[in-house]
Each structure stands twice: as C-alpha cells, then as structure tokens.
A and B are shown apart, each in its own frame.
Chain A
Amino acid sequence: MIASKPILLAEDNPRDAELALAAMEEHHLADKVILCHDGAEVLDYLYCRGQFKTRLQGNPAVVLLDLKMPKVDGLEVLRTIKNDAALKPIPVVMLTSSREERDLVESYALGANAYVVKPVEFHQFLKAVKELGVFWGMINEPPPEGASRATGRST
C-alpha cells in the first residue's frame, strides 16, 4: 500500500527536527518519518548501507531536504539522487531557511520537485510541514517501485 512508504526527513538541527515531527504528529504522520541528521545519512539510507544496511528495500515517498547540513549538504544529496537512475523518480522537496535566489535557482536546476522556505512563525511552519506531509505522503501518487529499480533490486 502507498501509505506504507516512509517520508525521509533530512534535518541536522535537532530542534527543527523536533518541531517538524511535532507538526507531522498533528496528522499522525510522525511514525512514517525517517529522520537523517546529515546528507551522508540520507545517502546511506537511499543506498541501504551503513546503519540502514538491514532496512526494508524500497524508496521513500518523498525526501524533505535541508540545504545546509554537515558532511554532505543538501544540494550535493540532490545532485546524487537526480544523477542516479534508480533514485531519480523520488520526489525531493527542499525545506530550508534560505530564500536566496541562487539557492532556488540551483535547486530547481538540479531537479528539485519543490522548494519550501521554513516560516519563522510556528503556526505557519506547522501548516507548511503538515501540508507537505499530507501532500507527498498521502495525496501524491509515488512512482511505481519497478520503474525505479534499474539495478534489479526488488522488495
């Protein structure tokens, strides 16, 4: 079933992560969220390696990606995902504090599916994250698994 697909949240700041999870909780989406603390972890998850070696196969419903992260930053992760035929269909939403034009331009140029600026006001932040979770985790129809499995791995 579609709803069983996880939402991958890449957020290095534990407070932001907690607030995001609190927002997801409102719509009972929190248990679907897999939290990564930096870009390297996101890639580990996607390629089923490191701490995610034993995870269940399959791509997440969406990757919510922060721009500024330690080790591997958001744009680097985005580039890796969009350059890999197997990962390319995964929707990637940039979720960041930056409203800088060049970040927007670069993200879309690399193939980001959406770009959301985190609002300072918590109510709006709540709303934004909730809507993201609902849309990408429930409303949006993710790409069929087979289409993305170019490497032959299957669930």
Chain B
Amino acid sequence: MGMDESNRQQPVNAGAESPLPLSPWGERLLARVSFLGPLVHTFQKRSIEHRVLAGFGLVFAGILVISAISYRNMTVLIRNGHQDQRSHEFIQVLAATGVAIDDAENGHRRFLVTGDESYLAAYHTLQERAPEYVGYLRELTAPHSLQRARVNELEQSITQQLREERAAIDLRHETGFESVRTMALAGVAKTALDSARRLQAQMEQDETKALAQRVIESTTTTRSSIILLITGALLLFVLLAAVYYLIRRDITARRRIADELHRRGELLEAANKELEAFSYSVSHDLRAPLRHIDGYASLLRKASSTSLDDKAKRYLQTISESATRMGQLIDDLLVFSRMGRQEMLRGTVNLNQLIASVLHDLRHDLQDRAISWTIAQLPEVTGDAAMLRQVFMNLLANAIKFTGTRPQAIIEIGSWGSSQEELVLFVRDNGVGFDMRYANKLFGVFQRLHRADEFEGTGIGLANVRRIIHRHGGKTWAEGALGEGATFYVSLPMARSLA
C-alpha cells in the first residue's frame, strides 16, 4: 500500500486524497496511548468528509449525553425541592398537632379542676381537627413508609387520648371534682400522650434527617451537573476545534492546489502563446527562403535551358522538389500544431454525412481505382466536426493510398463494440498493411513505415488523427500484418453531457 500511496501523491494533489498527517506532538501523544493506534490508523485512512462527519457525530453524541444527564439531574433536583416542601409542611403540621395535643391536655386538666366548660375549647378543637391533621400528615407521607405507619400510630394515640379524656370529662360531670381529683393532678391518658409525643419527636427527627440528606444529595447533584457541563463543554470545544482544524487543513490544501493549478494554467498559457508566436514565425519566415530556393532554381533552369545538360537539369529539379517538400512538411507541422491549440467547437456530428463528404473530396484519388466499399450506418457523435472530418480524411486517404497496389481494393468503415461509455470506429483495408512490431510508431509525427518512393506522404496524417482523438478524450490504435491489410481504430467517449 505504501508504494501506491507514494505514487499517487503527485505534487498537485498531495494532501487532497491522502490522509492528512498528524502534527508531531499529536503523533507522540497518540503513540503513548497504544490501544488507540489501530483506531487512529483507521481514522486517518478515511476521507476528509468522513472524518469531519465523524467529528460532528461525536459532537452531537456529546451534546446528547450531556443533555440526558443534565435532564436527569434536573429531575432529581426538582423532585427533591418538591419533597423538601412537603417535609417542611409535614414538620409544621406535626408541630401544630403537638401543640393541639398539649393544649387539649392542659385545657382538659383545667376543666377537671375548675369545672369551667370554656377550658374544654382546646379539647373540642383537637377532637374536631385531629382527623384533619392526621389526614394531612398521611397525605404528606409516602404509602408503606415508616412515617406513614407512625402517622397511623399517632392517630391511634390521639384517639386513645381523646377517649380517655372523654371518660374523665364524663366522670367530672356526673360525680364532681373529688372523683377526678387524682386524675386532674396526675393527668389522664398518660401512656397515650407519651406515645404521641414520642412519635411526634421521632417523626420530626426522621423528617429533618431526610431533609438534610436530600440537601446533601441536591448539592452533590448540582455540583456534578456543573462539573459535567464544564467538562462536556471543554470536550465539545476540543472536538469542534479538531473538526475546525481538519476542515481548515483541507481548505488550505485545496486552496494551495487551486493556486498551483492557476499558476500552472498561466504557465501553460504563456507556453502556448510562445508556441503560437514560434509557429507564426515558422510559417512566415521559414517559407520565404524555400520559396527563393525553388524560385531561383526555376529561374536558373529557364535562363540556361540551352547550356545545361540533362544531369544539371535533374540536379536543379531535385533542388526544387526538395524545397517544395520542405514547404509541405512545414505546412503539415503547422496544421499539426494548430490541431493542438485550436479551440474545439463541440457539436453533434453526423458521421454518415461526414464520410460521404470526405469521399466526395477524395473523388480525384478514386479515379481509375477498383474499390469495393462497405460503409456501415454510423451513429451521431459529439465532437468538433472540422477536426473529426480531418480524422476521416486522413484515415480514408491512407486506406485509398495503401491499397493502391491491389487490383481490387476492399475498404470497410464501421463501428464496433460500442458500449455505453465509448464508441469505437474503424477503417479496415486490404492494402499493404504493416508489421505489428512498428505499430507504436504509426501515430508519431513524421513517422513513416514506407519509403518515400513507395508511397508519398509526410507522415503527419496519423499524428493528427491521434492528436484530434486525444483531444476528444478517445484513443487510437491499429492492427495489421505485412501484406494483409490494416485496421485503424479510434474510440470516442459517448456524450458526457447526459451525465
């Protein structure tokens, strides 16, 4: 994997696709936490989108956890507050009950001594209010709790007290003071009262204790909530900072790449301009001397036609031909260079029409030739019509040229194995063919597999074909055998505009 990775990291896209390396301190830190190693490795292999997504996922998960715990703590605090209120009320009611019991006892004893009915007011009050107090207290305690059981006991004690006191009151009414004298001095319902007071004290003590416990619990919960929130916020901050760092790094890398691309684009444009100036000067300045060579050779031939022998005339002829040929080469080279620079005018091209018009242009080459044509129905393609015309012009001219030695030439044009992605077109002939060993030379500039006296040409045609097809995003290749014809293939990507 290391090899692939380093191969893929070309200067331009370094850092874009490859995992971002951690800073040195980060690596050292992670190296110590060895169990995180595989995890970090997996993380680093992920793309930037995955990593950012994972970061945000962690942030959201953190927020969820913090929210859940905070909610729970809040509930505890609210519940405790609620219970505190009930406890306070409970204690108050308990105290009021105690006071009522005491008042009733005191009033009752005074009545026993004095016989004054007004002293029985507190007794009556207790008698009336006792169920209310008990009911209230019962309401404020949880069912099946110790306090509830005690409330019940308290109720019994109060009932007992009231009953015994009632008995004493009745006795006083019937028999007068003397019979209740001891009672009045020592007090009635002593056991019940003691029990009620003891219960009251116990309940108050327990409730206060529970209250104190809850205060501690609430404080702890509050503190833990605060700690949780601070820690959570810090963690989230760290996470967000990490995500920000990731995004920032990515953006920086992308910006750097964009800058680099822009810079290279400018360089390329400058190089193109230079090339244009170069080819312009070639086209203008290089042709002039050639014209002069041919011109003066012609003038010389004319001026001294009588004094020159055949040999000298042939020499002059060769000079002229060479100059003309070089002119042709320069023109071809310029066309080739223009093919690379010229802006492409993409459109829909009807290949059937295009081939018909190419054959019309080649009609002079077709005179006195016996050629059997097989031209398949071809689909429409997307591309530069003029450039594609040049492609078929070259391929067909070649097919016609290299079948020149055949008494019956066979040329076939068709499309082949067209898939969804690309269309393969071919031109097949039964001409002189070529040795497959030199197949890679076919599409080179000025590369020729035949001697100039066998077949004429400058060797630029197939180079143009390759250049045009490459600019269309396609490929060129050829198959053949010496003396057994050749097939030239060009592939064109299917219209991407649909995608």
A residues sitting closer than 8 Å to B (CB atoms) are 13, 15-16, 19, 22, 67-68, 96-100, 118-123, 125-126
Contacts and interface: CB of A to CB of B under 8 A. Distances in A.
Given A15-B296, A125-B295, 13 more contacts: A15-B292, A16-B288, A19-B292, A22-B295, A119-B291, A120-B287, A120-B290, A120-B327, A120-B328, A121-B324, A122-B291, A122-B295, A126-B298
A13 B288 contact: yes
Contacts of B283: 97-100
B280 A122 contact: no
Contacts of A118: 287, 291
A96 B284 contact: yes
Contacts of B284: 67-68, 96-98, 100
Contacts of A97: 283-285, 287-288, 291
Interface residues on B, range: 20 to 34
B320 interface: yes
Nearest to A16: B288
A16 B291 contact: yes
A44 B327 CA distance: 35
Interface string B255-298: 00000000000000000000000001001110110111011111
30 contacts: A13-B288, A15-B288, A15-B292, A15-B295, A16-B288, A16-B291, A16-B292, A19-B291, A19-B296, A22-B295, A22-B299, A96-B284, A97-B284, A97-B287, A98-B280, A98-B284, A99-B334, A100-B284, A118-B287, A118-B291, A119-B291, A120-B290, A120-B327, A121-B294, A121-B320, A121-B327, A122-B291, A122-B294, A122-B299, A125-B294
A100 B291 contact: no
B469 interface: no
A67 B299 CA distance: 25
A123 B297 CA distance: 11
A38 B312 CA distance: 37
Contacts of A22: 295, 299
Nearest to A67: B284
Interface in B324-348: 324, 326-328, 331, 334
A125 B331 CA distance: 16
Contacts of B295: 15, 19, 22, 122, 125
Q: Which of A15, A98, A99, A120 neighbours the largest number of chain B CB atoms within 10 Å of its CB?
A: A120
